[in-house]
Amino acid sequence: MKTLSVRIPDELHKESNEVLEQIGLDVPTAFRIFLTQVAVTRSIPFTLRVRDSEWERVPVDRENQEAMDEVAALWGGKPAGR
Q: Please state which of the ranges 1-5, 28-32, 55-59, 77-81 shows the lowest mean pLDDT.
A: 77-81
pLDDT confidence band for 50 (50 / 70 / 90): low
pTM over 0.75: no
What is the predicted pLDDT for the residue at 69? Answer: 82
Residue 79, domain member (yes or no): no
Counting the structural domains of the chain, the total is 1
Residue 64, domain member (yes or no): no
Higher pLDDT, 19 or 55: 19
Residue 26, domain member (yes or no): yes
Residue 80, domain member (yes or no): no
Residue 76, domain member (yes or no): no
What is the predicted pLDDT for the residue at 32? Answer: 92
Residue 68, domain member (yes or no): no
The domain in which residue 18 lies consists of: 1-46
The DSSP line for 2-46 is --------HHHHHHHHHHHHHTT--HHHHHHHHHHHHHHHTS-SS
**CATH code of the domain containing 18:** 1.10.1220.10
